[in-house]
Amino acid sequence: MRPILWIFVFFLVSVCAMGIMFYPHLSFDDTPVASRIAVGYFLILSLGPYWMLYDCWQHDKRFTRKMWLFFVPGGFLWYYFERFRPRQLSKRQRVHP
């Protein structure tokens, strides 16, 4: 995907997070489903960068420029779709010709 589209994705992830934070009636009592979706969204936004950093460190064994995406909200999405997933697909193709 083009870098300008990834900037749009990062912006959209940030806008959704801001919308969830400032939604006035988001509580477990009033809207249990929406509030659980919000908790899941923020858990993914919190744990995704640590997974990315761990996998990047395990694969490269040194600090690289792509590790700076740890600080970008949703940066782990870029890592998953542009680095991790193609690497997994190429491993699968090598194992099963």
Q: Residue 80 belongs to what domain range?
A: 3-95
Q: How far apart are CA 1 and CA 22, in angstroms?
A: 31
Q: Note the pTM of the prediction, 2 decimals.
A: 0.79
Q: Which two tokens stand for residue 61?
A: 């064994």
Kindly give the confidence (pLDDT) of every residue in the chain, 97 residues in length, as a single tens digit, with 9 standing for 90 and above: 788 899 999 999 999 999 888 877 777 788 888 888 889 999 999 999 999 999 988 888 887 888 888 898 999 999 999 989 888 888 878 776 6
> Domain total for the chain?
1
Q: How far apart are CA 45 and CA 28, in angstroms?
A: 20
